[in-house]
Every structure is written in structure tokens, then in C-alpha cells.
Amino acid sequence: MMNSLLLPHRYKKIGWILLIPAAVLGILGVIMDIESVLPIQSKVLALVGDEGLLKQKYFSVISTNITLTLIGMLFIIGALLVGFSKEKQEDEYIAEVRLNALLWAVLVNYSLLLVAFAFVYGLSFLTVMIYNMFTVLILFIARFHIALYRNAKNISDEKHD
């Protein structure tokens, strides 16, 4: 049975085009203050926004630096396109590999989150939660493509024997 929720294969390339630069910019954002190097200031609609120390505004337009927001959005969109676009030859085996990779990614992600709940506190926990938003997609894409690579390599090795 084929999954109709998957996107057409052509979206995978678009996903990589978005994901790779967003990942590089995201890593640079962790290493250095990318918001000051590449500031993108804009007025945005905020469901909840800060109005100063311990004050929040609801349903308002605020002016803020959206650099990290754009990088995060590009990363998520790219990762979703890469992870959930069909392969050139989509069959039941690929669907099983995809499902197993997704289940493995969710289990590993939440195992790591449990460790964070037990051993990370304060503002460091907020940082862990920010990274946790991306972990499931990263683990899924990595596990899925590694499994596909290993399968292709095994088939190639069997042909040469």
C-alpha cells in the first residue's frame, strides 16, 4: 500500500536546497551571534510578544530581529520536504524503511529529552528544548538515508560477487 501523504519526488531537491544553507546558518548561529552579523529587522504579527522585562503583548504587531526565525523556518520546511518526499522508486520496502527510521528517530529523540529533563536545569533546559525542535527531523533523515545507502551498497556488493 502506497502512502498518499508523501510529497512528489521533485520536492526532495527543493528540500535539500533549503535545508543545507539553513543548517549551515543555524550552526553559525550557535557558534556566533548571527543576528548581529546578518540582522533582519521586521515588523511581525505576534500572538505573544515581549514588551519589556516580564511584560507580554498579545495579538499585536511588534518590531523584532527575525534572522533566527527565518533560519529555523527554512530548516524545518527543508527537512520536511527531504524527509517526506517520495523516493524515485517508492515501494513497500522503502515505506518500511521510512517507518522504521521515523519510529527510531522518535524513540531516540524522546530518550534524549528524558535525559535532559533529569539532568539539565535553568536556562540551559530552554536551549535543549530549542534544539529538540529539530532533533526528530535530523535523526529521521539521517537514519532513513543511511538505511537506503546500506541497502544500495549491499545490492551492489551482491552483484559483484
Phi-psi region of 46 (alpha: psi -120 to 50; beta: other; left: phi over 0): beta
pLDDT tens for 15-50 read 999 999 999 999 998 888 888 888 899 999 989 887
pLDDT at 160 over 70: no
Q: What is the rounded end-to-end Cα distance, in angstroms, of the chain?
A: 33
- pLDDT over 60 (residue 10): yes
Q: What is the pLDDT of residues 75-104, one digit of tens each?
A: 999 999 999 999 999 899 999 999 999 999
Q: Is the pLDDT of residue 1 over 60?
A: no
Looking at the predicted structure, is the pLDDT value of residue 73 above 90?
A: yes
Helix (H) or strand (E) holding 134: helix 123-160
